[in-house]
Amino acid sequence: MAESLEAQDSSYAFTFDDGRTINRKELAKLILDTIGEGKKHTAIISSEIGMNYQSVFAVIRTLVTSELLISEKMNKYTAYKQPKPCALANFFNHGGVVDNIKIKDRKKYKAEDFPNNSYGGTKGYESFSGNVCNPVYEGGTE
């Protein structure tokens, strides 16, 4: 799993085309703000920010591995967009709900209390398979 942006070395400074410098964490925030709600590819993001392609691409790949951006393959290029929170995520990932459940009562049952349902014998698979002769295993021909 990729390490978070806070855990990465933030002392490395990226340089804009006009000579200004910015650290990795601030550049990542600037890239996320530039993308916004839509989807853009790296060349458009780098031209809007005013930084070279390779520097922007390196931070974008970090954002993708940190799951802060989603990459979507287009015809000629890869577009990047921010993940939208899914309404069903709270429903299926209900870890907080499970922690809040209180069990009021427990009742133990013995195995003997339940009926014994057997599906073998003369009604099931055995009666069907016993009527068929398989010449491969019997050593004969039909």
* Core vs surface per residue 14-51: b (16+ CB within 10 A) or e: beeeeeeebebeebbebbbeebeeebbbbebbbeebeb
Binning pLDDT at 50, 70 and 90, where does residue 44 land? very high
Q: Is the pLDDT of residue 123 over 70?
A: no
Options 3.40.50.10470, 1.10.287.130, 3.40.190.120, 1.10.10.10; CATH for 13-81 is 1.10.10.10
pLDDT score of 29: 92
As a whole number, the mean pLDDT across the chain is: 78
pTM, full prediction: 0.55
Strand (E) or helix (H) holding 49: helix 42-49
Mean pLDDT confidence for 23-29: 90
Say how far residue 23 (Cα) sits from the centre of its chain: 29
Domain boundaries, the chain: 13-81
Which of 63-67, 78-82, 117-121 bottoms out in mean pLDDT, i.e. has the lowest? Answer: 117-121
Nearest to 26 by CA among 39, 45, 7, 13: 13
pLDDT score of 2: 47
- For residues 22 and 16, the answer to whether their CB atoms sit within 8 Å is yes
Q: Report the alpha-carbon distance of residue 3 to residue 83 in Å, rounded.
A: 18
Mean pLDDT confidence for 118-141: 58
Q: Is the pLDDT of residue 24 over 60?
A: yes
